[in-house]
Each structure stands twice: as C-alpha cells, then as structure tokens.
Amino acid sequence: MKTGSTRTARGRAGTTDSAAMIPDRPDSGAHALVLVGGGHSHVEVLRRFAASPPSAARLTLVSTGRYTPYSGMLPGLIAGVYRFEDTHIDLALLARRAGAEFIEAGAARLDTGRRALELDNGRLLRYDTLSVNTGSQPDLSRIPGARAHGIPVKPVDSFLKAWEVLRRRGRDEGLRITVVGAGAAGVELTLAMQHSLGGAGGRCEFWLVSDGPVLPSHSAAARRMVQNILIARGVRVQTGRAVVAAEPGRLRLGDGRTVATDATIWTVGAAPPPWIAQSGLTTDPRGFVAIDHHLRSVSHPEVFAAGDSATLLAAPTPKSGVYAVRQGPLLALNLRRAIAGGPLARFRAQRRTLALISAGGRYAVASYGSLALEGRWVWRWKDWIDRRFMARYRED
C-alpha cells in the first residue's frame, strides 16, 4: 500500500494557481455528489437514484463518452452477434432520469485538499462526496514499444474503431493477428475476432501469447476446456512466454524468440487512470484506489471507489466486471447514507463467482469453482443473463 505519495500529491494540489481556480462552495446547501466514470457500479447507482432520488443532493456524472459498454456482451459485438445498441448504455439518458447533470469529459486532476475535480475540458467541480468508477486499462508501461506497436483493448471505444479498420483489412488481405494476454478477456477477444473473420477456415491466422497459462485464475478443468477450444479452432497458443518488446512487425519474447505479427492486441494486466497517482488518495502497490469494506477510500472518507479502479485491501478481487456489477447496489446505498450522514454498510465479496466465457459466436464456457461446462446452451444461458441485465437500463 502506498503511503509516502499522499503528502507529496497534496502539496502539489495546494498551489496558489490551483486555489485561484477552485469554485466557491454552492450556497444552495445541497450535498454535491460527483460520480467519475460510467462503469458498471455507477450505472446501478444512477438507476437506483432514479427510482428513489436522495434528498438535498446535487448529482453530477462525469464520463469520457455518452455510451458505456457492458463488458459481458463486447465479445458478441466483436463477433457480429450483437449490435452496438445491444451492448451499450446511454449514460446521458440514465443521468437525466436520475436528475443528474451529465458532463462528457475526462478527469484531469483531483484536489483532495479542496475537494475539487478538474476536468480535461478545463471545468472544475466542487464535491462533498466523490465516487470513482472509471475502470482500468492495459498496463503497457513495462513493455518497450507496446504503445507504438499495437492496439490496447481499452478504452473500448478506441478499440472498436481500430477493430473496424482491422476487420476490413483482415477480410481483404488476410492477417496474422496476435493477442497478448490469455486471461478471459484475451481468450474471448481472440475467438470473437476469429469468428468475425471467417472462423478457423478464414484467411487470418491468430496467435495467443501469454507469460502464464490460459485462464490463470480459473480451475484446471476450465483451462483444459478453453485450451482445447482454442486448439480446435486453429489458434496458435504460446503460453509461458512473456512479451518483452514490441517492434514493427514482430514481438520479442523473453526466451529470445520472436513472433511475426501484422496486428497486436494488448489485454495484459491492468493499470489505473494516471490522475489517481497525483490525487493524494492512498493506493495499492499498483496505483488503484485503496478502499475499505464500505467501498470508501482508506485515506479520504469523502471518496468512494468501485470496480476495476479500486482495490478492497482486506479481500482483493480480480479486475473483472462481475465485481463492479455486484458492488453497484451497495455503493448506491452507501452514497445515499453518506449524503444523509447515516452508518455505512459492508461489502462482502463472494469467494466464488460464476464466469460465462464467450468462445466465438454462439458458444460459451461456464466456469464455477472446479466445475466447467461448455456448449451452445451455455451461450443461450449467458445471452439471457446479459440481456436481462441490459434491460434494467433501457428507457421505460
């Protein structure tokens, strides 16, 4: 857990120039709640606030885009099973229903001393309570050349634009496409892209490269099942081989070998938004907001965080959308209680979670503890769950 950086970050935030830019405290007396990010937890907060608005509160949602993707359906979008509107939530609509102001911008700097958030469009927002649910992005800082030679899977909107160009090239030319990272995201993305580009008999060749095994956080049964699917689909799987550098047209591996590639997709690791490091908030060793069982910052009680942007210090969980979804209801409750000055509830992470992993097209794998199942019926089950989830956030 980082502790020394807090004092330094506060010192930078407290400069004279910064103080001159801080907006005055509103005279309305309303509690200013600012939600940063349109992640899975915050969409549930907005849905619940729309159904039962908190009294004496002024709500603001800040997000880099109007439409936020539901991670569970993105492989289906890439595979061509779903449409954009099937897989994205309209944040502006959701905010309006909750009585919140929606600002399409990104966070640039957080001044925790003066409780003000500076946006990348120059606007400053004063808050009484702040909640962070911005997600994460692939950590490319340790791989030389990764940013210049490849496409990170996040931000999702940028990836989808790049994927459309890559998809057209793949159909016209035939490409060797390499996905780096063999967690669930890498597996799903590989099989979804392959399905879109003609499957195992298509013109494109797919490689999946990882320094660890396929699905490292899942059971041996699930790993074997997914590995067999990848091999049956003709994907070249290279595990136990770390990528140490990216160069034009090739990747260098830790064992000295190289992999030729026409396009590289990065799904490795996870990194927090850079502004968190300068915020003064206590973080975990990787830079994510350190939170307690109330989903509240361990250093700043007026700040909450959930999903991939945070780490529950007492019980760390994988960076997965399933936890952000499950934190949403409790986050909404605790934000409501923070506004009212009431006692906070505790979040209890489940020891086991059900993972439904897309395997290209209408096929999926279910992984729960030591149990693993596969088939088209698993995909139909997953499709039913995903569509039911998205229906909560549609216009009535």
DSSP string covering 136-182:
-B---TTSTTTTTSSEES-SHHHHHHHHHHHHHHHHHH--EEEEE--
3-state class (DSSP) for residue 385: helix
Q: How far is it, in rounded angstroms, from Cα 12 to Cα 24?
A: 20
**pLDDT tens, N- to C-terminus, the chain (396 residues):** 443 333 333 333 333 333 334 454 444 589 999 999 999 999 999 999 999 999 889 999 999 999 999 999 999 999 999 999 999 999 999 999 999 999 999 999 999 999 999 999 999 999 999 999 998 888 898 899 999 999 999 999 999 999 999 999 999 989 999 999 999 999 999 999 999 999 877 889 999 999 999 999 999 999 999 999 999 999 999 999 999 999 999 999 999 999 999 999 999 888 888 899 889 999 999 999 999 999 999 999 999 999 999 999 988 877 777 888 999 999 999 999 999 999 999 998 777 889 999 999 999 999 999 999 999 999 999 999 999 999 999 865
* Phi–psi pair at 28, nearest 5 degrees: -70, -20
Tokens standing for 66?
Answer: 């109007």
CB–CB of 347/327 below 8 Å?
yes
Buried b (16+ CB within 10 A) or exposed e, 250-259: ebbbeeeeeb
- Our separate counts of H helices and E strands in the chain read 11, 23
Prior bond of 69 cis (ω within 30°): no
Nearest to 49 by CA among 340, 243, 301, 271: 340
Measuring CA to CA, which residue among 210, 277, 265, 278 is closest to residue 242? 210
Q: How far apart are CA 25 and CA 36, in angstroms?
A: 19
Q: What confidence score (pLDDT) does residue 8 get? A: 32
**Structure confidence at residue 20 (pLDDT):** 39
What b-and-e string marks burial along 162-194, b requiring 16 or more CB atoms within 10 Å of the CB?
bbeebbebbeeeebbbbbbbbbbbbbbbbbbbb
- Residue 34 φ/ψ, nearest 5 degrees: -115, 125
Token couple for 68: 């936020």
Sequence-ordered list of residues with C-beta below 8 angstroms from that of 165, at least 6 positions apart, any chain: none
Helices 184-196, 156-173: inter-axial angle, 10-degree rounding: 40
d(CA 256, CA 241): 10
d(CA 366, CA 346): 29
- Which tokens is 113 given? 């001393």
Q: Can you name the residues that pair with 126 across neighbouring β-strands? A: 116
Residues 6+ apart with CB under 8 A from 31: 54, 56, 57, 58, 128, 129, 339
Q: Contact 310/334 with Cβ under 8 angstroms?
A: no
